[in-house]
A and B are shown apart, each in its own frame.
Chain A
Amino acid sequence: MKKVIRLGAGSGFWGDAMDPAVELLERGELDYLCFDFLAELTMALLQRQKLKNPAMGYVPDAVTYMNTMLKTARDRGTKLISNGGGVNPRAAAERIAEGARAAGLQGTRIALVEGDDLLHKLDELIAQRLPMVNMDTGDSDFAAIRSRVVSANVYTDSTGIVDGLAGGADVVVAGRVSDNAVYVGPLAHEFGWARDAAHVNRLASAVTLGHIVECASACTGGMSSRFSEMPDMGRVGFPIVEFSADGSAEITKLQGTGGRVDLFTIKEHLVYEIADPRSYLMPDAVADFTSLKLEQVGEDRVRVSGITGRPAPDMLKLVVGYQDGWIGESMAFFPWPQAFDRAVKARQTMLERFERMGLEASQVHFDFIGVNMLHGPGAPKPDPGVANQLPEVGLRCAVRTRTAEEADKVRRAGSHLWIMGPGGTSFGTPMKPRPVISLWPTLIPRSFVDQKTEILVS
């Protein structure tokens, strides 16, 4: 068994830059390159694409990336692990296999991991009298949204990825496994961890390291509060984890790349999007982030050790996406002098238009851009004397409606301001209404989830 496994982070989200991943693959001497492509909303968007075309439903980048990198990956002995299968891992795996054949890489083994998609099993779950309570709101009336459901995916653990690797996979493409399962899977496979008490701290450690690097450059200087001090961020290096058999690890990046790895870049991501740090709940293990120790052990090199945890929870998070009306939005920008007064009067004018047009909206929201759009009541209350000295102020309006036609009234009322609004105003391009997919997160017993792994050979 190898003493240290080297994993690279290849993508922090669908839309991330590919060049840092290619650089890592070429120079990182990696055992694995791991890609997170999914966000909470992504599954619903992909499910809609699959409805229109049953051959779609995966993240297109996931296929492009694999086809671009496969030859180098096979030459280097680096395995590629992603959750880019979205709601159709099988189609993604087939496209990757076709790409491999076209590139002359016969014999490439592509594992697809399914079982997270419960859209067609929802009624079974309901028939089993699962409470399906919304974790965010406490609402238990799931029947009220049942007919509008478009997606239902459960955050699954890394066992399907482990099975794929045990089957000799060069590429693993999964659906809605947890973000950090793409890191935990390779480690559990390499070190042969059983899912028992003896390995719980090491699983928790893998979960923690996965969490730290899963947003790629977010732990190497991206999004940093010290961004102004970070060198060459347009050429940022994505992180590398060197994970040891004892559960400790070092995080680093390639020499000559931009960004930085230091105690603060790691701390910043450790605290990102978590709830109680003593119980970071993931399908593979519960990690206690207050147990770990960080040390700077070299330039761009931080050691993480001492992580403890608890066994994986019996319940898994199921996120149901459902259609929930429309959003209409408009923006306008006003110049000095008296920019703030102009924005206030424009808001009044929009409200008068809404009344005339008979807008039916469940929510109407206004922001003063440059004044309180980002922090709302957390921003200082606007003092007209000061706000009117600003070089420019914007007005943003957003409304929730039942139909697209109602939402479009906001675009129209915003356009009416072109001439009936204050002089000197700029508008940009009007925005079309967008459909809303709301999410209903709930917990279901693990026993309802049946992960399946299959290997295609090109």
Chain B
Amino acid sequence: MTKIVRDIAYVRSGDKGDVCTAGLIARAPADYAALKASVTPAAVKSLYGDWVRGDVHCYPMDNIEAVVVVMERALGGGATKTLRLDQTGKSLGHALLRLPVVG
């Protein structure tokens, strides 16, 4: 069966204005290369469709084997005015665990 990011990483996400930020942490050092290869701006954009309307940046953190995903215009306007129940993007980041593992 194809591996998904859930099999190799933990996640925590939140908000800053209309930006949703999610940190993905490799469960084991050996998983880190695959995590970096699997979580790309293009993969993230295509996963969320019109819920992420701005640019996506993926920042590697080699020192702790993690990738920080920053999604702009991703919370329906931001916590105070979004129509979503998940106002601060705490749940939203968990969808990243569905991305297929490549490499």
Contact = CB atoms under 8 A, between A and B. Distances in A.
Interface in A148-203: none
Contacts of B66: 267, 270-271
B83 A378 contact: no
A375 B44 CA distance: 12
A76 B63 CA distance: 38
Interface stretch (A15-23, A63-71, A243-251, A272-280): A272-280
B41 interface: no
B61 A289 contact: yes
Nearest to B70: A275
B77 interface: yes
A278 B95 CA distance: 25
Contacts of A44: 80
Given A136-B78, A277-B61, A294-B64, A271 B83 contact: no
* Secondary structure call for the A interface: mixed
A290 B11 CA distance: 18
A354 interface: no
Contacts of B61: 271, 277, 289-290
Interface string A91-116: 00000000000000000000000000
B91 A441 contact: no
* Secondary structure call for the B interface: mixed
Measured as residues with beta carbon below 8 angstroms from the partner, the interface class of chain A is 35 or more
A225 interface: yes
Nearest to A376: B51
B80 A275 contact: no
Contacts of A438: 77-78, 80-81
A274 B17 CA distance: 12
Contacts of B83: 327, 363, 365, 398-400
B15 to A, nearest CB: 7
B3 interface: no
A375 B77 contact: no
B85 interface: yes
B103 interface: no
A377 to B, nearest CB: 3
A361 B54 CA distance: 24
A377 B48 CA distance: 5
Interface residues of B, number: 45
B4 interface: no
Contacts of A377: 47-51
Interface string B1-44: 00000000011111111110101110000000000000000000
A351 interface: no
A378 B98 contact: yes
A51 interface: no
A277 B59 contact: yes
A374 interface: yes
Contacts of A291: 63
A273 B78 contact: no
Given A292-B63, A374-B92, A378-B47, A439 B78 contact: yes
Contact of B68 (A271, A436, A441): A271
Nearest to B25: A267
Contacts of A273: 14-16, 21
Contacts of A223: 12, 90
Contacts of A321: 80
A137 interface: yes
A136 B48 contact: no
Q: Which 10 A-B pairs have the closest CB atoms?
A: A271-B23, A377-B49, A378-B95, A225-B10, A365-B83, A398-B83, A374-B91, A273-B14, A375-B95, A376-B51
Interface of A: 40-41, 44, 135-137, 223-226, 264, 267-278, 289-294, 321, 324, 327, 363, 365, 367, 373-379, 396, 398-400, 436-439, 441
7 contacts: A136-B17, A136-B18, A290-B62, A374-B94, A377-B47, A396-B85, A439-B78
Given A136-B78, A375-B94, 4 more contacts: A135-B17, A275-B19, A294-B64, A367-B84
